[in-house]
Amino acid sequence: MGRTPSSARDPLVALLLGKLNMDLFEELRDKFPLLVSAAQAPPQVSHNQVSIALRGPDVRPLAEHLQSAYQSRLVAVFAEDRVAAESVFYNYYVFEQPAEPCYLILQAPIAADQPRFPSLAAGLPAVNWQEREIQDWFGLEATGHPNPRRVALHDNWPDVHPLRKSFPLRQVLPPFEGERHVYRPTLGEGVFQIPVGPVHAGIIEPGHFNFAVAGEPILYLQLRMFYTHKGTEKLFEDMPIHRAVFLAESISGDSAFSHGTAFCQAIENASDTEVPQRARVMRTILLELERVCNHIGDIGAISTDVGFMVANAHASRLREMVVRLNEGLTGSRWLRGMVCVGGVRRTWSSAQRDLLRDTVNQVEREFDSLVALVQSSDSTRDRLEQTGILLPETAKVLGIVGVAGRASGVDLDVRRDHPYAAYERYPFQVPVYRAGDVLHRMLVRVDEVKQSFAILRAAADDLPEGPHCAPLQPVPPGRCALSAVEGWRGEILHWVRTADNNRLERCKIKDPSVNNWAAIVEAVQGNIVADFPVINKSFNLSYSGTDR
Amino acid sequence: MIAVFLTAVVQLLLLLTVAPLVGGLIKTLKARLQIRRGPGILQPYRDLLKLFRKGMVLPGTASWVFTATPYVVFAATAIAGLMIPMISAKAPLGLFGGVLAVVYLLGLGRFFLALAGLDTGSSFGGLGSSREMTIAALAEPAMMLAVFTVAIGANSTSLSEIAKVATSTTWHFLAPAQMLAFAAMFLVLIAETGRIPVDNPATHLELTMIHEAMILEYSGPYLGLIEWGASIKQLLLMTLLINAFLPFGLQSKWSLGGVLVSLAYLLLKLLVLAVSIVLVETTNAKMRFFRVPDLLAMAFTLAALGLVSTFLF
C-alpha cells in the first residue's frame, strides 16, 4: 500500500495496513467462495481504493462480516447500467475501515433479466434512501426493503427509470398517472398535521415537510425531497469531461469548490494524473475558505433563527470579508471556475498571497469576538442547548456524516481519514462532541473554523513554487475511480467510469445531505414546532445536492 | 359636546398618523444596531399605502369571521385608543370603567384575530391562534394587576382620573408599587406587541410565528387594516405605560398650547421607550416558546407584589 499517505508517514503502519488489506481479501475469498471468485487475482490498490468484483448480487453476508469483524462503515451504495456492454447492472458498495485510508469497493453484478438485489436497509438504515434511489433510477428492485416506496421520483414522475442507458436524455415525459405517495396517517385526539412546503417562505429550495404534532411537540416528521432533481448524473454522461467540471461545480452552489475538486480528483485518479504540489496546496486553501465562509454564515443563520440578529449582522460582515477574499483569489465569490482537471486554472501572485494572509488574520481576530458575542448571550444558549438532540447511537446507525455526525460522536473526517490535496502537510484537530444538540453542531463549526485558520496560515506560508496545473492529457476510457472530499457539510463522494472521446460513462455523486436528512427526522422528535427552523438550520442540508 | 367631539378627532388623527411612525422608528433603530441602513422611518406608511392599493385574495374556506375581523380589530383598537390619556390628562372617551374597557377592547380584537386564524383552516393559522391565546391568557392578568396598582393609588379605574392624580404632586413614581407595576407593564408590552424575546416580528419562518401566523392568509387592504391596527395597539400600550407611570409634561386642559406641550413630551417619551424596546430586542434572542410563560409569570409576580406594596408603603 505504498501510495497511502499515512503509510508514507509511518512505514510500520504501512506494513500493518498492507497486511490487513491483503489478509482481508484472502479471508473474504476463503469465507465467501460463492461471492468472491477463487480464481480472482488479488486486487490492485491505487489512489486509496481497492475494488473487489463479486459473483452475485447478494452482499449481505459480506457486509455483515465486514461490519462485525472490521467495524467497517458502508459509505455509499450506487448502481451502474452496463447492460449494453456486459448484460449486467452493477451495484457498488463502498466500505471504509477505521484508521485505514483505503476504500474497499465491492462490485456486485445484477443480471439484466433478473433486475433485483437483496436489500441491506433492514440492518443498515443508512442505505435506506440510497437503495430506493437505485430502485427509482435503474428499476432494480431492492428485495426485502422495509419501505420500498419511491423516494427519488416524486409524484409528478411517471414510471420511468431515467439512469438506464435505454432512457434517452431529451425525452418528454407523459404526466404521472397512478397511486400518489401515501403519508403515514396522522391520527389521535388533538393530533394535527402541518404540511410545509415544497414551496417555502423565504428564499430556500423546495422540500416537503409533513409534521404530526400534538399541540406544539412534534410526534414525527415525514420528508419528501427530490423536487429539484435536475438529472445531473445523466447529464454527466452527455458532455466532455472538461466541461463537466462546471456541472460538478453547480451540484450544490455552496459547495461548488468541494464538488468541483471531488470530480476533478476522480478524473485524475482514473487517468493517473499527478497534480503538482502547488495546485494541491492551492486547492487545500480554497477548500478551507469554502468551509470558513459557510460555517461563519451558518453561525449567523442559527443566530437569526433564534432571533439574535446582532450576531447575524456580525457574522454576515465576516462572511462578506471571506467572500471578497474568494473573489480576490479566484474571481468568483463562490469559488467557481477555479478548479480544473490536473490542478487549478490560475496561479496566484504574491499580492494575492498577501491578501490571503492579511484577510485570514483579520477575520480570525474578528471571529473570536463573534464567538464571544454568541457565547455571552444566555438567551441564545438557552435556545440552542438541548434542542434537536441527535443521539450518538442514532447517528451511527443512520450513517450521519460531517458536521452533524461530529456533533453526535461520529468521528469521521475525510481530510484526516483519506487525505487528499495537501492535507497531510498540515496538522489539524477534528472536533468531536457527543451532546448532539444544536449548540454542539454550532460548536463543531466554531472549532473547525479555528482549525481552518491554522491550516490556511500554514498553507499560505508554505505555498510551493512550480506549475499550478498538470499538462492536459486525454483521459483513457474504461477506467473507474472514486474520490472523496470533506466538504464543509461533510463527506462528498464522486465515482466515475470513463468512456471514449474524453467522456464519462457514469458519474455518481454523493452529497452528505443524502445521509443526513434522516438525522433531522430523528432530531426533531419531541421538540416543539417553533424550534424546527433552528434545528433544520443547524444541519443546513443541501436540497440541490440531495436531489441532483 | 362639540369640544369632546373635537378632542376625539384630534386624538384619533394622532393615533392613526403617529402609530406607523413608531413602528418605523423601532425598525430603523434596530437596523442601525445591526450595521444596516434599514428601510427608513417612513416605510410603514409606504407599506400601508401599498397594501390599500392592492387586490385581495380570500381563501375559499373563509367565512364572515375572516372578512369581519380586520374591521373589528381596527375599530376596537381605535376606540380603545380614544380612552387613554394621550395629549391631555382627560381622555376623549371614558366608558365602562376606563382601563377595564381598554383591556377588553384589545381582548376583543385579539379574540377575532384568533378566530380568523382558525377560520381559514390553514394549519399555520391554527398554530398562531393557539400560541396567541396561550400568551394572552398569561399576559392579561399581569396587565390587569399592574393597572390595578395604579388604579388603587388614584382611587379610580378611570384612566383620566389616574392621569390627573399622576400629574398632581402627590404622585410618587419611585414608590415601590409604581416601580414594580411599571416593570410588569413593560414585560406585558413586549409580549402584547409581539416583540423579541416573545415573538419575532421580522421572521419569515412560518413555523415560529405567533401574530404573523394568524394573519398569514390576509392580503391587500384587509392586511393593511390589521397591520395598522397592530401598530395602533403598540402605540396605545406604549402611551398607556408612559402616561400612567411617567405622566410628567401631560397637561390636564384641552387647549392648543397644552396639547402641543403634551405632544412634545409624548413624542420624546415615546422615543426613549422605543430605544429601550430596541435595546431589549437587540440584546436578546427569542425565547423558546414554552419559556414565555416564565416571563409572563414574572410579570404577574411583579404586578402582584406591586399591588400588595400599595398597602404597605
Q: What beta strand segments (E) does A215-328 contain? A: 218-224
Longest dimension (CA), chain B: 59
Q: How far apart are CA A334 and CA A326, in angstroms?
A: 7
Of B126, B204, B285, the CB nearest to A308: B285
- Taking an 8 Å cut-off on Cβ atoms, the answer to whether B197 and A307 are in contact is yes
> Do residue A274 and residue A351 come from a single domain?
yes
Q: How far is B34 from chain A (nearest CA, A)?
A: 5
Q: How confident is the model at residue B171 (pLDDT cuts 50, 70, 90)?
A: low
Q: How far is B239 from chain A (nearest CA, A)?
A: 26
Of B33, B130, B288, the CB nearest to A383: B288
Greater confidence (A33 vs B280) lies with: B280
Q: What is the mean pLDDT of chain B?
A: 88
What pLDDT, in 10s, does the model give residues B29-55?
Answer: 999 988 889 889 999 999 999 999 999
Kindly list the distances between the CA atom of residue A60 and the CA atoms of A37, A270, B94, in Å, as whole numbers in the listed order. 16, 28, 81
Q: How far apart are CA A268 and CA A258, in angstroms?
A: 15
Q: Which three cell numbers stand for residue A513?
A: 445531505
Residues B59 and B47: beta-carbon distance below 8 Å: no
For residue B289, list chain A residues with Cβ-Cβ distance below 8 A.
216, 528, 530-531
Kindly list the distances between the CA atom of residue A406 and the CA atoms of A299, A413, A513, in Å, as whole numbers in the listed order. 16, 9, 14
A149 is a domain residue: no
Q: Which three cell numbers stand for residue B92?
A: 376623549
Q: How far apart are CA A20 and CA A197, in angstroms?
A: 49
Kindly list the distances between the CA atom of residue A209 and the CA atoms of A170, A429, A511, A530, in Å, as whole numbers in the listed order. 31, 36, 20, 14
Residues B73 and B236: beta-carbon distance below 8 Å: no
> Do residue A477 and residue A502 come from a single domain?
yes
A374 is a domain residue: yes
The CB density around residue B118, as the number of other CB atoms within 10 Å, is 17
Residues A81 and A92: beta-carbon distance below 8 Å: no
For residue A197, list chain B residues with Cβ-Cβ distance below 8 A.
none
Q: Which residue has the cell 379574540?
A: B111
What domain count does chain A have? 3
**Whether ipTM exceeds 0.95:** no
Of A308, A379, A530, the CB nearest to B289: A530
Q: How confident is the model at residue B194 (pLDDT cuts 50, 70, 90)?
A: confident
**Residue A217 preceded by cis peptide, ω within 30:** no
For residue B33, list chain A residues with Cβ-Cβ distance below 8 A.
310
For residue B284, list chain A residues with Cβ-Cβ distance below 8 A.
307-308, 377, 379
- Taking an 8 Å cut-off on Cβ atoms, the answer to whether B285 and A529 are in contact is no
List all residues 6 or more positions away from B144 whose beta carbon is below 8 Å from its beta carbon: B103
Q: How far is B202 from chain A (nearest CA, A)?
A: 9
Domain boundary among A82, A110, A143: A143
What pLDDT, in 10s, does the model give residues B57-112?
Answer: 998 888 999 999 999 999 999 999 998 888 888 888 877 768 888 888 999 999 99
- The pLDDT, as a whole number, for residue B311 is 83
What domain count does chain B have? 1
Element (H, E) at A89: strand A88-96
Q: How far apart are CA A431 and CA A453, in angstroms?
A: 14
Of A195, A528, A530, the CB nearest to B123: A195
SS3 A310: helix
A175 is a domain residue: no
Longest dimension (CA), chain A: 71
A168 is a domain residue: no
Of B124, B207, B282, the CB nearest to A309: B282
Of A196, A317, A383, the CB nearest to B285: A383
A107 is a domain residue: yes
> Do residue A243 and residue A202 come from a single domain?
no
> Do residue A389 and residue A508 come from a single domain?
yes
- The pLDDT, as a whole number, for residue A3 is 33
List all residues 6 or more positions away from A274 whose beta carbon is below 8 Å from its beta carbon: A470
State pTM to two decimals: 0.89
Q: Which of A310, A385, A387, A538 is the best residue to mutate to test the B interface, defined by the most B CB atoms within 10 Å of its own CB?
A: A310
What residue type is A297 in one-letter code?
A: G
Interface of chain B toward chain A, CB-CB under 8 angstroms: 30, 33-36, 123-124, 126-127, 130-131, 196-197, 200, 202-208, 281-291
Domain with B156 in it: 2-312
- Taking an 8 Å cut-off on Cβ atoms, the answer to whether A382 and B285 are in contact is yes
> Do residue A261 and residue A369 come from a single domain?
yes
- Taking an 8 Å cut-off on Cβ atoms, the answer to whether B283 and A377 are in contact is yes
What does the buried/exposed string (b/e) look like for A431-470 if buried means 16 or more CB atoms within 10 Å of the residue's CB?
bbbebbbbbbbbbbbbbbbbbbbbbbbbbbeebeeeebbb
Phi, psi of A498 (to 5 degrees): -85, 155
> Do residue A240 and residue A131 come from a single domain?
no
Q: How far is A373 from chain B (nearest CA, A)?
A: 10
> Do residue A220 and residue A74 come from a single domain?
no
Q: How far is A433 from chain B (nearest CA, A)?
A: 24
- Taking an 8 Å cut-off on Cβ atoms, the answer to whether B34 and A306 are in contact is no
> Do residue A328 and residue A453 come from a single domain?
yes
- Taking an 8 Å cut-off on Cβ atoms, the answer to whether A379 and B203 are in contact is no
Q: How far is B199 from chain A (nearest CA, A)?
A: 9
A300 is a domain residue: yes
Of B35, B126, B196, the CB nearest to A307: B196
For residue A532, list chain B residues with Cβ-Cβ distance below 8 A.
207
Domain with A273 in it: 232-547
- Taking an 8 Å cut-off on Cβ atoms, the answer to whether A306 and B285 are in contact is yes
Helices B220-245 and B99-119 sit at what angle, rounded to 10 degrees? 150
Q: How far is A364 from chain B (nearest CA, A)?
A: 20
SS3 A457: helix
A154 is a domain residue: no
Q: How far apart are CA B99 and CA B163, in angstroms?
A: 11
What pLDDT, in 10s, does the model give residues B113-155?
Answer: 999 999 988 888 888 898 899 999 999 999 989 988 888 878 8
Residues A308 and A379: beta-carbon distance below 8 Å: yes
Query: What length is written for chain B?
Result: 313
A394 is a domain residue: yes
For residue B281, list chain A residues with Cβ-Cβ distance below 8 A.
309
To 5 degrees, how large is the angle CA B133–CA B136–CA B140?
150
Helix, strand, coil abundance in chain A, percent, nearest 5: 45, 15, 40
For residue B282, list chain A residues with Cβ-Cβ distance below 8 A.
309-310
> Do residue A124 and residue A238 come from a single domain?
no
> Do residue A216 and residue A244 come from a single domain?
no
To 5 degrees, how large is the angle CA A347–CA A413–CA A19?
105
Nearest chain B residue to A210 by CA distance is B123
- The pLDDT, as a whole number, for residue A93 is 93
- Taking an 8 Å cut-off on Cβ atoms, the answer to whether A308 and B130 are in contact is no
Q: How far is B190 from chain A (nearest CA, A)?
A: 14
Greater confidence (B235 vs A475) lies with: B235
For residue A215, list chain B residues with Cβ-Cβ distance below 8 A.
130
For residue B204, list chain A residues with Cβ-Cβ distance below 8 A.
201-202
- The pLDDT, as a whole number, for residue A1 is 29
pLDDT surpasses 70 at B313: no
Q: Which residue has the cell 475469498?
A: A29
Alpha carbon dihedral B227, B232, B234, B239, in 10-degree steps, equals: 170
**pLDDT < 50: residue spans in chain A:** 1-16
Q: Which three cell numbers stand for residue B300?
A: 404577574
Q: How far apart are CA B90 and CA A546, in angstroms?
A: 65
For residue A202, list chain B residues with Cβ-Cβ distance below 8 A.
204-205
> Do residue A220 and residue A281 come from a single domain?
no
For residue A317, list chain B residues with Cβ-Cβ distance below 8 A.
35
For residue A318, list chain B residues with Cβ-Cβ distance below 8 A.
none
For residue A306, list chain B residues with Cβ-Cβ distance below 8 A.
285-286
CA A462 to chain centre: 29
Nearest to A404 by CA among A389, A418, A419, A417: A389
Domain boundary among A143, A171, A204: A143
List all residues 6 or more positions away from A170 whose beta carbon is below 8 Å from its beta carbon: none
Interface of chain A toward chain B, CB-CB under 8 angstroms: 192-196, 201-202, 215-216, 303, 305-310, 312-313, 317, 377, 379-380, 382-383, 387, 528-533
CB pairs under 8 A between A and B: 81
Residues A357 and A457: beta-carbon distance below 8 Å: yes
Q: Which three cell numbers stand for residue A48?
A: 486509496
Greater confidence (A229 vs B252) lies with: A229
- The pLDDT, as a whole number, for residue B93 is 80
- Please tell me what DSSP assigns to residue B291: G
> Do residue A214 and residue A101 come from a single domain?
no
Q: Which residue has the cell 498538470?
A: A470
Q: Which CATH number covers residue A259?
A: 1.10.645.10
Residues A283 and A421: beta-carbon distance below 8 Å: yes
pLDDT surpasses 80 at B280: yes
Nearest chain B residue to A317 by CA distance is B35
Q: How far apart are CA B117 and CA B122, in angstroms?
A: 8
Q: How far is A470 from chain B (nearest CA, A)?
A: 46
- The pLDDT, as a whole number, for residue A453 is 94
Q: 3-class secondary structure for A154-214?
A: CCCCCCCCCCCCCCCCCCCCCCCCCCCCCCCCCCCCCEEEEEECCCCCCCCCCCEEEEEEE
Q: Which three cell numbers stand for residue B20?
A: 406607523
Q: How far apart are CA B129 and CA B218, in angstroms?
A: 14
Q: How far apart are CA B24 and CA B44, in angstroms?
A: 6
